[in-house]
Amino acid sequence: MIRIDEIYDGVFLPRAMEHTNIGNDVNSNYKIGLHWFDPFGSTDFNDMCSKPPVAWWKGENNYSWQKNKESYPGDCTRVIFWDQEPLHRHRFTPFINQFQLHANTVRLVTSEYNSEDASWAKDTYGLEMDYYFFHGWAALDWYRGYNRTSIAQKFSERKPYNTFLCPNNIIGGERKHRIEMLQQFVGRNLLDRNLISFPDVCPYEGSSLKLLCIKYDLDCPNVKLPLMIDNGSGYAAKSHQIDLWDQANNSLIHVVTETVYLGNKNHLTEKSFKPMVMQQPFIIQSCKGSLEYLRRYGFKTFGEFWDESYDQADDGVRTYEIGKLLENINSMSQKEKASLQSAVSNTVEHNYQWFYGEQFEKILWNELEGMVAKW
């Protein structure tokens, strides 16, 4: 297992040093330089860490920074880690315009699979693209040890009252698809007997739901906010934490409203691993093909038990299809839900054991090793 807060210094930097055959002196004249962001989640140019240390000088253009040619040879490779956050063009463009490197090769590392935005970055800026599943490693680190506790009741032994659990926090910006999911909940009368959290004011943008709907030209759901789940804060836990254990024990399904929804890419975060750790089946609102993406890593989804064709639906209708699916499951009798619970139990157990077993980490490690070998 990798400590995710030490992945750059502890994993990637030593490997870069191995490939350059320069020993262990971080002040040596590297042929590979690594660049990542601290604090976690930032994509601000001023929050970039560079090892070995980088000498920058300000050019004639106040918005352009260039590498000191004397400090770094032209035959070097620079590796930019854009792996913590999604690759959005409006965020990446101002950064890369400042990041003018005198290097033969600039590599961009993302946690996006089959990403049209990664292809755009490659074609627009002449970058070499690399991929590894950063959030898989983050989930393994953050959720380690829960399999040694008795917090979660065994799924097959639960007697869930609620059809689904769906925590939400940030609802603006690139996460406005969560408003569209709320529209489905309200329009299909799914608020009763389900556990849904939804703020009245987006903590990221500081705007109310009404203002966000005006901004994004969305129909505003007719619902009294905030919707709260009784977990202390009332909303989703922080990324590195799992709470809502009692609520999970009392809910049949976990509805994951992921960070990224729009565009041709696969970008899943730790959110998609929470139901596996909490031993729940899941329905994921994310990019097209997200369930297929999870299956690449050995996890199982639930197409044998309910219609997962939503995963292949286009952006404009995928949330609608998820709402229709949830409505169908919600309308089942308690006996039918109990039968469904029994049917999916083996798949839920597989995902739990696969997450905490050796094979998932081995897949991630082989993927990471293959990426570094290309440097």
- Mean pLDDT split into 10-residue runs, the chain, 375 residues: 95 81 49 91 93 51 41 70 97 89 81 97 95 98 95 94 96 95 98 95 93 95 92 60 93 98 97 98 98 98 98 97 98 98 98 98 97 91
Are 315 and 224 in the same domain? yes
Give the end of a domain, one of 87, 110, 131.
131
CATH of the domain at 354: 3.40.50
Residue 226 lies in a domain: yes
Residue 144 lies in a domain: yes
Domain membership of residue 76 as a residue range: 4-131
> Which position has the token pair 């998609």?
272
Coil vs helix vs strand at 76: coil
Q: What is the pLDDT of residues 251-295, one digit of tens each?
A: 999 999 999 999 999 999 999 999 999 999 999 999 999 999 999
What DSSP character marks residue 238? P
Are 127 and 149 in the same domain? no
Are 123 and 145 in the same domain? no
What is this structure's pTM? 0.91
Coil vs helix vs strand at 25: coil
Distance CA 55, CA 371 (A): 27
Distance CA 241, CA 139 (A): 10
Q: Are 64 and 85 in contact (CB under 8 A)?
A: no
- Beta-carbon contacts of 320 under 8 Å, excluding residues fewer than 6 positions away, are 184
> Which position has the token pair 């953050």?
142
Q: What is the pLDDT of residues 159-214, one digit of tens each?
A: 999 999 999 999 999 999 999 999 999 999 999 999 999 999 999 889 999 999 99
- What's the number of domains the chain is made of? 2
> Which position has the token pair 């940030």?
170
Looking at the chain, which runs of residues are DSSP E strands? 32-37, 48-51, 56-58, 65-67, 77-82, 99-100, 105-110, 128-131, 162-166, 195-196, 251-257, 282-285
Are 252 and 344 in the same domain? yes
Q: What share of the chain is helix, strand, coil (3-state, %, to 5)?
A: 40, 15, 45
What integer pLDDT is reported at residue 17 of this predicted model? Answer: 78
Are 98 and 226 in the same domain? no
Residue 310 lies in a domain: yes
Give the end of a domain, one of 131, 159, 190.
131
